[in-house]
Every structure is written in C-alpha cells, then in structure tokens.
Amino acid sequence: MLRPIKDHQAAGKNSEPKRHWVKDHGLLLVNVGLFLVFLGGMIISGAASYSEEQQTHGGPPLGILQYLATGHFVEAVFENWESEFLQMAMYVVLTVFLFQRGSSESKPVDKDAPQDEDPRDAKKTAKTPWPVRRGGWVLKVYEHSLSGLLALLFLASFTMHAIGGTAAFNEEQLSHGLPEVSTWEYVASSQFWFESFQNWQSEFLAVAVLVGASVYLRERGSPESKPVAEPHYETGA
C-alpha cells in the first residue's frame, strides 16, 4: 500500500511545475488560444463567403487551403494586423514622453518612474538580462527592443497588406475587364489608404477611451486599472 502512495506523491510533484507554468503564462496562453480560434473562424467563414461570391460570377468554389492563397485572405488578415501593431508601437513610444494625469495607463506625472532608470547604473546580478550585463550597443538596442519589434511587425504587415490587396484588387479589375495594377500603383490608390485609415482610426479611438476612462472608472483586480478606492487624479498603476 505504500507504493501507490509514493507514486501518487511523485505524480503530484511532477505535475506541480506544470500547473505553475500554466498559471504563470495564463494571460499569454489564453490570448494565443483566442487568436487561433478567431483566426480559424475567419478562415472558415471567409472561405465560404469567397466561394459564394465566386459562384455568383460563374467561377468554381474554393476549398479552405485554396482560399489561404488568395489575395482576399492575405489582404483581410494583414490589413488588421497592420493597424494593431501600429497602435501598439505608437502607444509604447508615446507613453515614454507623454502623460495623462489620473490615468493608470500613464507614468506618474510628479515623480520618477522606474521605467526611466538608466540600466547602466543598475546593480548587475546573474538574473539581470544578458544585454544589460553586456552593455554597449547591445544594451542600446535592447533598451528599445519592444518598440523595434512592434515597428518591424507593422512594416511586415503593411507590406503583406499591400501585396494581398493588390492581388484582390486585380482580381476585381479582371472580372470587370479592366487592366491590372502594380503593387506600387495600388499603394498609391485611395482604396489602399481607405483600408488602412478605417482600421487605424478605430485603434487609436480604443486607446484614447482606455486612457481617459481609466481616470474615473475602475476594474477591481485588473492591472490596467487603479485600485478602486484610489483618487481620480492619482496617476499610474
């Protein structure tokens, strides 16, 4: 009878780190999971909608894998990614220099913020990120690596939006007996910028609402909100 107890205890010990790991990464895991669910829904519904449109014009229906290679899908995905990464990159950079008194989304207005501390003056330990211990140009890049990554993702999405949008636009052109356009011509068109601006404006509206609303409104338990009993004009998380 002792052996099953030991095995059970061992199993509990082995599974405990897994439970901790999931808890430690729950926010990322849930968001990645939701992304995959919604992307899958977009692919399935988009393929069905696109096939219906093709059949309306006398064309053959497309399978899901075939749909993934269409300009319709590429343009739809990256048009949205483009606006998301632009919003996040701009937000990261703007919050370095700008403040909103009373907002949990702002650094404190009247006192120093830990984010502004020079890492060169920090005490180095084994747990200090390697770029900080390395110093020099490596640290210089690391200091702005978050905004740099988001900017690169925006540029990549912007490029794919242009490529996918060109393919979708040319497909529409050919269906009406009109000539195709190059990617550069499509980027210079009002259609491309309409697609971009309609997404960009909504992203910055959402940020403005969050920044302003967090001055007066609360969400107990969320790090995006100040403590419920904290005064309105207390700035920072």
Determine the average pLDDT of the residues in 116-128: 91
Q: Of 214, 232, 234, 231, give the one whose Cα is nearest residue 223.
A: 214
The residues spanned by each domain of the chain are: 1-68, 70-237
pLDDT of 2 over the 70 cut: no
Lowest mean pLDDT among 89-98, 137-146, 220-229: 220-229
Verdict on whether the full-model pTM lies above 0.75: yes
Determine the average pLDDT of the residues in 34-38: 97
Determine the average pLDDT of the residues in 17-25: 80
pLDDT of 114 over the 80 cut: yes
pLDDT of 65 over the 80 cut: yes
Determine the average pLDDT of the residues in 55-73: 88
pLDDT of 183 over the 70 cut: yes
Beta carbons of 218 and 103 less than 8 angstroms apart: no
What was the pLDDT predicted at 235? 84
Cα–Cα distance measured from residue 226 to residue 230, given in angstroms and rounded to the nearest whole number: 7
